[in-house]
Structure 1
Amino acid sequence: MGRANGRWPEQEPDRGVEDAVLLILEWLGEQGVGAMIRVDAERMRDGGPAWTFAAGGGPLTEAMRSDGASVAECMGRALVRLREAGLAVPF
């Protein structure tokens, strides 16, 4: 896959994964993977891991889910699991 349409911005070293979340979701969709990230206000109020990432389909043999207290924690865990599943996420 090329870097079409100028949508792949230069990443700043002092910025976290939060800046790339939408690009990651778009890239996963292009690979045939359905994915989403959501925040649960009730879990946030209760101090639980309010952020959830879920993905399935395409080259993933099993659906996956990752939770975290912040979007960065959630997506960091998700990226580890995606890479373990064989998806070389380019971010």
Structure 2
Amino acid sequence: MKNRMSKPDTDNGIEDVSLLILEWLGEQGVSALIRFDAERPRNQWTFAASGEALPEPVRNDAMSAAECLSNGLVLIRRQGMDVPF
């Protein structure tokens, strides 16, 4: 997987497993959140994650929850964490 670039997949029902993903990340020592900011006109969703298991903190902003979380997981995978979702 390290030689291939991960691509966001917003059609795989990621909303259905979002809480499981956040819980799994927490079990790995990663603090994570997904947030909606009504005051922003664009990219109202934010995903952020940080912790000892990640070399660098991750943040992604997007127009939908699915896109935001999916892109965030791509960034986490690029840092070497194999997220099982």
Q: State TM-score, norm by structure 2.
A: 0.83
User: Where has structure 1 moved over 6 Å in runs of 4 or more?
Assistant: none
- 1:34 is the counterpart of 2:31: yes
Unaligned runs of 5+ in 1: 1-13
- 1:69 is the counterpart of 2:63: yes
Q: 2-side partners of 1:80 and 1:62: how far apart?
A: 13
Q: 2-side partners of 1:15 and 1:58: how far apart?
A: 28
TM alignment of 1:2-41, pairs within 5 A? 16-41=13-38
More helix by share: 1
Which residue among 54, 75, 83 is the counterpart of 1:60? 54
Aligned length: 75
Q: Which has the larger radius of gyration?
A: 1
Q: 2-side partners of 1:16 and 1:87: how far apart?
A: 21
Identity of aligned residues (%): 59
CA drift of 1:53 comes to: 0.4
Decide whether aligned partners of structure 1 residues 15 and 76 sit closer, same or farther in structure 2, where only a CA change above 3 A counts.
closer
Greater relative contact order structure (CA < 8 Å, 6+ sep): 2
CA drift of 1:58 comes to: 2.2
CA RMSD in angstroms, aligned pairs only: 1.2
Specify the code of the residue in structure 2 equivalent to 1:51.
W
Unaligned runs of 5+ in 2: 1-10
